[in-house]
Structure 1
């Protein structure tokens, strides 16, 4: 009997129930209930005689990352904004960012009145290409923002060397790399500041949240003030109903504080993060071996220096000639039907990304010259574009399933390749 694609009425490879994400841990209800009853729902609330969840999480996350300081934030974008401001980036400065990334990498730069310079990617890792970084540096360049993407990390050895050579700070965007290690060092500790997102889909999540980490006490002080309307923590004894945040400012800030409920969830999630990493990495390694046996299928492998990989997305590059020349989006639809699980192309490159449209916001129109400098259409990003046309991704929760998931995914990819000529365009 001839096999038929699920997309055209055949039986799918699996009807499995995929793992839920996020996954609340056992103590989450108790911790949230204590927070609810405490009368303190934010760092800016009255002191109740005990440390805030926010401070507890900051201490624990700094320790987890082998960093000296952590400043929690409301989300990953605000972490990027305060990191850029702490590094002195401002009006007219250029910040190099990868052309293949989530839109917040660019919008955060715009939000400090600076210019995002889009840099092409390394096709092997999908992260920013160090050679392209070097070529993009100008006298206006003020910082290099790297993004550790999907399951890999940017080449931090080469990039930090470039930063030292040109006197440029490195900002690590680790929104997809909580706990990853480069030659034994945690992501976020190799540059001047590391930022994280704890949004709903992330490996460590509170629904919304973020953090910035650094070893530099002066940067940490600036980061704290920048996210707390310029306030600092009180240094003297406190009595109940005192405010723990006091008006002792050296820099003007904004309110980007994490809520006590978000911090409570993050403390809960942090305790299981490494065990989840281990399970995802084990399934990913087995899946990679199976997929590499299929002609035209090449999983994206972390660089050799990534001594602890993390998997926000599992990414696969396809030779579409082996899939009857069908467009990637059509192949993704066919795989989704086989698995009952989302399968999608990698991000659209920022020079053609529908979410990145600076001209639609009047706040960015500082001058006609500035608008020309921030025009994403002025960049050519051939490797980022090729990745968008050839690389598909699966979000990380599937890697928390049992080992049979590996057989299901590999079977689905092999089936779709064999029957690719029957995929509707």
Structure 2
């Protein structure tokens, strides 16, 4: 890089201001700090649902619980299977495994890093209870093909939308796609209260069952401890909801900025010899850009890891790609398919490659200026050349 360049000072994350402070004070002073007595969670659910085109929204403790709850109301449990992408954060599989189900990993598309529809179709068995497409880095898999497969097989979809806030497929927002979707508000996510999650539902019946199960099986107005279903305490508190309401208000502006910066950074990265950015399918009409992901095909995992360390030293919020879920010991503890690691690896060649050679930059990178996008690309090019 040129010695004349000023230091790279990308926007920090999380971002917050007076809206968050005011929300916390409002929640404090209402005198009721849990959802059954306060109004912040109810208000956030309404506002988040409206933003995503969902008729029913339930706020919960975190994104992993959002997946677990959504799977449970779809009937996932012992003796069932859930098809998940082999390339994803391990919560996608662990949510099913915690319910006693078997998580079945399938390969992903080598360009979008999203679940491969043909691989899903090949994995469906009479025990398959759900198919979980993950909106990887804010990108969507082929939702048209998945919806057709779901209708033909009778197996429902559950969208893992932990990266999908504000996303849309062919003009349809996440909540308008006709399937349950689970979101995360963990500290690094596109909206955050440190932790938190939400589930959107296309119908009232499923929502009402989820509400019971997220509150220990207890109806809203119960005063006699009559628990109608099994469940757990997945209720969001009022303080988190107050912060998330403020985060939601600032979100459209952040989304618009990332939508402007992402094509520029992707084009700049694509000019670097050996770098292949994640492909953007034009059917994704609103892309949240949770990550700026790119591959360096042929780069061994050890060298990729060293390259990420170098990028961090140069001021970039860089990370190695998620490890293939079947290459983590935790995946095999319970609810794993009757296969070996190498069996799964052989049928997931794209995941194997992505596991080794992919790097991602946190979405705060894309909140920087156009000049900073050029600086980011220069840093990547220089670090790769040095490697």
Which secondary structure state, in structure 2, belongs to the residue aligned with residue 392 of structure 1?
Answer: strand
Structure 2: stretches of 5+ with no match in the other structure? none
Q: Could you tell me which residue of structure 2 aligns to residue 294 of structure 1?
A: 272
Verify: 1:89 aligned to 2:56, yes or no.
no
Structure 2 Cα separation of the partners of residues 379 and 306 of structure 1: 29
Structure 1 Cα separation of the partners of residues 30 and 117 of structure 2: 49
Verify: 1:38 aligned to 2:14, yes or no.
no
> 5 Å matches for 1:42-53?
42-44=34-36, 47=37, 52-53=39-40
Q: Could you tell me which residue of structure 2 aligns to residue 344 of structure 1?
A: 319
Which secondary structure state, in structure 2, belongs to the residue aligned with residue 146 of structure 1?
Answer: coil
Q: Could you tell me which residue of structure 1 aligns to residue 351 of structure 2?
A: 384
For residues 64-93 of structure 1, give each alpha carbon's deviation from its aligned partner in whole angstroms, at most 9, with x where no partner exists. Answer: 111100011000111111111111111110
User: How many correspondences in the alignment?
Assistant: 385
Aligned to 1:284, which of 262, 265, 275? Answer: 262
User: Could you say if the C-alpha distance between residues 265 and 171 of structure 1 is closer, same or farther in structure 2, counting changes exceeding 3 Å?
Assistant: same
TM-score, structure 2 normalization = 0.93
Structure 1 Cα separation of the partners of residues 68 and 381 of structure 2: 44
Structure 2 Cα separation of the partners of residues 54 and 376 of structure 1: 42
Q: Could you tell me which residue of structure 1 aligns to residue 377 of structure 2?
A: 410
Structure 2 Cα separation of the partners of residues 376 and 231 of structure 1: 41
Q: Could you tell me which residue of structure 1 aligns to residue 17 of structure 2?
A: 25
Structure 1: stretches of 5+ with no match in the other structure? 5-10, 235-242, 365-369
CA RMSD of aligned residues (A): 2.4
The 8 Å contact of residues 194 and 214 in structure 1, kept in 2 or not, is answered as yes
For residues 215-240 of structure 1, give each alpha carbon's deviation from its aligned partner in whole angstroms, at most 9, with x where no partner exists. Answer: 21100101111101112333xxxxxx
User: Could you say if the C-alpha distance between residues 409 and 247 of structure 1 is closer, same or farther in structure 2, counting changes exceeding 3 Å?
Assistant: same
Q: Could you tell me which residue of structure 2 aligns to residue 62 of structure 1?
A: 49
For residues 9-62 of structure 1, give each alpha carbon's deviation from its aligned partner in whole angstroms, at most 9, with x where no partner exists. Answer: xx7976222211111132211221121222211124xx3xxx510100111111
TM-score, structure 1 normalization = 0.85
Aligned to 2:244, which of 266, 271, 290? Answer: 266
**How far does residue 268 in structure 1 lie from its aligned partner after superposition?**
0.6
The 4+ residue runs of structure 1 with deviation greater than 6 A are none
Q: Could you tell me which residue of structure 2 aligns to residue 172 of structure 1?
A: 159
Is the radius of gyration larger for structure 1 or structure 2? Answer: 1
For residues 259-287 of structure 1, give each alpha carbon's deviation from its aligned partner in whole angstroms, at most 9, with x where no partner exists. Answer: 10000011010001111011112111111
> 5 Å matches for 1:160-199?
160-199=147-186
User: Could you say if the C-alpha distance between residues 55 and 246 of structure 1 is closer, same or farther in structure 2, counting changes exceeding 3 Å?
Assistant: farther
Aligned to 1:212, which of 177, 199, 203? Answer: 199
Which secondary structure state, in structure 1, belongs to the residue aligned with residue 122 of structure 2?
Answer: helix
Q: Could you tell me which residue of structure 2 aligns to residue 317 of structure 1?
A: 295
**How far does residue 404 in structure 1 lie from its aligned partner after superposition?**
1.6
The 8 Å contact of residues 225 and 231 in structure 1, kept in 2 or not, is answered as yes
